[in-house]
Every structure is written in C-alpha cells, then in structure tokens.
Amino acid sequence: QNSSAFIFIPSVLSTVALHDDTLTKKYDIYTDSKGNIIPHPYFDINKIQTVASKSYLIEVTPIDETRKFVSIIVPVIYRADLARVCIDSIINYTDFPYELILVQEGNDEEITDLLKSYDAKFVQNKRPLGYAGAMNSGIKLSKGTHYCFLNSDVVVIPDWLNCMMEAFYFDEQIGLVTPTYSEMPGRQDIGHKSDKDIEYVDDPLSLKGVCFLISKEAIDKVGQWDESFGLGGGDDNDMCIRIAKSDFKLAIARKSFIYHYGSASFRKEFNDDVGFSKKYAVGQFNKVRKKHSIGDKPRVFIGIPDQDAREIHIGIRYFPHISPLDHARNTIIKNCLEEYWDYILQMDSDIVPPPNALRELLKADKDIIAPVCLTFKSDDNGLMCPIPIAMRYDEDGNYRPYYGNGIEETDTITGGMFLVKREVYEKIERPFAFTYHKDGTVIYSEDFYFSQQCQEAGYKLYTHYDLVCEHYKTVGVKNVNDLMLSVTKDEQVVAKTG
C-alpha cells in the first residue's frame, strides 16, 4: 500500500544501557532498514549502547560563578524509570560546568525518593503547575549564566552540552540553542542534512522544546515561561517567538545530539487517546495564534505519499497500523495539527502539478480545493478515454465524472493532490477511511470518504479545472488525449481536402 513520506514514524527500538544498569525499557534509536544503528557523523554512537564503565564517567570542572556555567533544569511528573536514565546520563556525560535542578510535579513517592537521592537542587510542586510552571520554579533556584531546560524523557551523550555552548561563543547574538534528536520531525532531527555545525533558524515555530539552552540575558529580557499554556505544548513556540522578536538569534547545534523517547508525559496524561491529543493540540495552537501574530503569509504543509520511500517500508514493517493509505493520511493530519500550519496539501508521488498550482489554489481561498487529475476509464459506450477524478451525483445519487470549467463545486475531489484549510481537519474526527463490501472489496476509497465527511460537516468541495496535473499512473493522459485530438483533426482536414 502507498504510505506517506511525511508520517513521523518511530525508529526501530533498541535497549539503552547506562551506569552499570541495563534497562528493561526500550528507547528510540536511529537505525537503518535492517535495524543496524546509524552512527552520528560527529561521535561513536556505540558508546551509549554499552554499559557505562568508569572510563566513560566524566570529571566535571568545578563551578566558577564568575565564568559561564549552566543551570540544567529537569521537570519530572511521570515515569521514574525514564527520569533516572535521563539524570544518570547528565551526571555521566556532562563536563561543562553546571548545576542540576530537579523539579517534581505532583507527589508520586517513587519519583520523590528518586530525585532526592541525587546531589542536586530539588523543588516539588505538589499541585502541578505544568511544564512552564516547572521551568519557572527551577529558574528561581538557578545561578547559571545559561539555563538548559531539559525534558526528563531523554538520554544525553558525551559533549552534548559543550557543543551547544559553542554556539554562544560563536555568535553573541544567539539567545537560544537546541541540539538534534533521534525522534523529531523537521530540522532538529538527526537525519536533517546540513553542512554547518551551527545552523540558524528563522522560523520560531519550527523548534520543539525538548531541550532548550537559553542565555540568562535572553530570559531577563523576554521574561520567564508563560504558565497560561498549562500542561504544556505551545509554550516552547511562545518562548522562541519572544526571543526572536527581541533580536536574539535561534540556532541548532548540529554536533550536539540526544536520544528522545518522545512525549512521555503526554502519553501518560492522555492515556494514548489520539482523539483527545488532537483536540488538545488544536487548543494549544489557538493559544499561540491568539497571543502572537504568526504572519500574513499562509503556512502550508506539503505531504507527498511515496510507496518507494525507504522510511515508509521500515515503518510498515514494524508498525503495520499505519498501512494502508487512510491510516497514513490520518497520521499526517494528527501530526500537522500539533504544528503551526494553516493549510495541508497532500500530493501523491506520481503527480506532477502544473506551474504555480499551489499559488492558484491558495488564491481561490476555498476550504477544500483540488486541481484536476485524469485517469483512463471506459465511458458509457465502452470506449477507453481520459476522465477527471472529480465527480457529481447524478439523479439516482450515483457518482458521475463531471467535466467543468474554471473553479466549480464538485461532490468529490481527487486524492492525487488537494489543499485543505486547517479548520476542516479540526472539525472532522477521522478524515480518511476506506469503506468495504462484505466480500472485502472497496466501496469508497479514502479520498471519496473524505469528500463525504466534509459535506456532512457542512463544507463545499471545489475542483480547479484550469489546473491539470500530469499523472504517471496514466502516462501523461492529458498529453495523450491532446495528441489523439490533434491526429483526429489532421485526419479530418486531409479528408476534406482530399
């Protein structure tokens, strides 16, 4: 089945061992299609895969408060097992001068005992204040020149903090630095290609706050974390926007890398309820939008289904729930709603859109609109001919191909390429699904089902007939059709003159 190269597929799972204690839990590790660990270009990843021996333990430089040192603030609300691995890795693999501040959210006794067992500053919010509140509680105890806000579901590696601190020495205008991760869509992912050690980031909405290293100067100027975001989500983007607006630069330290388990607190809080998680993400997005002017230009996410993508074959092999295509599309939508996109454009990998297609679709300003994709099918006379994948209901309530002009309302749109406003997906619980006959054959494919869902929700669908896509499945069917018409006209001219 086709899937989507924009699905955020978990990596193959491997066991991490740290501090003479092999964990029974599994964590996301970057691997290839055969499950082999892929080395980071800057360090030997196998070190973190073996039980840490004394030779790996790092002697920390004593803190000199007249020089730069980092206050590492780690909030913990759930999963003592993850927190222990995180804190052990900080202690074992951090040699830049630092102080450790552990913030407990809630009153779980196991977590309390764990955090108090470390030689670190400790504060407990028995009434949880959320991620932002926990960070602010840590700031109150901090004395560092820089603050490292670190999630408790990560594992750091040697030189992780040194490589991030290099950015502040490299450019004094940098206010916030983030590392790369093993589980992160976008530019912070370890797989994102870059030829620079320090990569500047222009879009403050593109960074995720799994690990933010922020200068005290920047925090003093923009203020602390905004606790109105509650449990979390959106507060990291809010911080990035405020820092960027204050003329500080944002950057990714590409030589710094940490493993990320991924949303451990949210998984626990939402009981893996995807539906509720989606609604929560929408709410957090709207908080950021209300607080900040995100900009006049629309933000468009483009997802391209690709049945040949290596990552997709890995994903389907290990995570069959994302196949077939309807599950893949729904996963795209869920993840996009957790990001800051105004439109979502999905386009199959065998589609070649005409020039300026996206610009023209946006200009139409419709909730749901698609260009024309053609396919070969038999007409009422049994002749094979190109027809648009755009339908209207006939008098009997059956779908019939509709040949239109310009922008016209249709009852279905093509799944080959279509542009949808964010609000549509916010209102539809499950946008894509196949429907089946009892014998297992398909009644409606996922794009037709989506069209039906949109109409039931009160939306109209439009097809832009002036935009005709090339479709490799039909071998450039429009060109073939034009050629057939041209040959026919030539034959008619010959017949008349002959």
**For residue 177, with 0-12 CB atoms within 10 Å meaning exposed, 13-18 middle and 19 or more buried, which class applies?**
buried
* The token pair that represents 198 in the structure block: 């320090």
Task: Report the pLDDT value the prediction gives residue 497, as an integer from 0 to 100.
Answer: 54
- As a whole number of angstroms, the distance between CA 171 and CA 414 comes to 49
What is the rounded average pLDDT of the residues 341-360? 87
CA distances 51 to 15, 20, 47, 155, 467, Å, are 11, 5, 8, 14, 59
Sorting pLDDT into bands at 50, 70 and 90, what band is 379?
low
Task: Report the pLDDT value the prediction gives residue 161, as an integer from 0 to 100.
Answer: 95
List the domain range (segments joined by +) for residue 452: 351-498
Q: Does residue 206 belong to any structural domain of this protein?
A: yes
Q: Does residue 313 belong to any structural domain of this protein?
A: no
In this predicted structure, the answer to whether residue 123 has a pLDDT above a threshold of 50 is yes
Residues 272, 375 within the same domain: no
Is residue 136 within 8 A of residue 224, CB to CB? The reply is: yes
Query: How many domains does one find in the chain?
Result: 2
Q: Does residue 195 belong to any structural domain of this protein?
A: yes
438 versus 469: the higher-pLDDT residue is: 469
What is the rounded average pLDDT of the residues 338-357? 84
What is the rounded average pLDDT of the residues 133-138? 94
Residues 356, 256 within the same domain: no
pTM of the full structure: 0.60
Task: Report the pLDDT value the prediction gives residue 39, as an integer from 0 to 100.
Answer: 41
In this predicted structure, the answer to whether residue 249 has a pLDDT above a threshold of 80 is yes
In this predicted structure, the answer to whether residue 42 has a pLDDT above a threshold of 60 is no
Task: Report the pLDDT value the prediction gives residue 166, as an integer from 0 to 100.
Answer: 93
In this predicted structure, the answer to whether residue 375 has a pLDDT above a threshold of 90 is no
Q: Does residue 158 belong to any structural domain of this protein?
A: yes
pLDDT digits (tens, 9 = 90+) for 404-453: 999 999 999 998 899 999 889 988 888 988 888 887 788 888 899 999 99
Residues 102, 223 within the same domain: yes
Task: Report the pLDDT value the prediction gives residue 41, as an integer from 0 to 100.
Answer: 36
* % of the chain residues with pLDDT over 70: 66
Residues 244, 382 within the same domain: no
- As a whole number of angstroms, the distance between CA 434 and CA 440 comes to 11
Residues 355, 489 within the same domain: yes
* The token pair that represents 4 in the structure block: 């989507």
In this predicted structure, the answer to whether residue 47 has a pLDDT above a threshold of 60 is no
* CATH number of the structural domain spanning residue 257: 3.90.550.10
* CATH number of the structural domain spanning residue 444: 3.90.550
Task: Report the pLDDT value the prediction gives residue 22, as an integer from 0 to 100.
Answer: 29
In this predicted structure, the answer to whether residue 54 has a pLDDT above a threshold of 50 is no
Domain boundary (280, 301, 321) is at: 280
Cα angle 414, 419, 422; round to 5: 130
**How many Cβ atoms sit within 10 Å of the Cβ of residue 350?**
17
- Which range, of 26-40, 186-200, 242-256, 446-460, averages the lowest pLDDT? 26-40
pLDDT digits (tens, 9 = 90+) for 230-241: 766 778 888 888
In this predicted structure, the answer to whether residue 43 has a pLDDT above a threshold of 90 is no
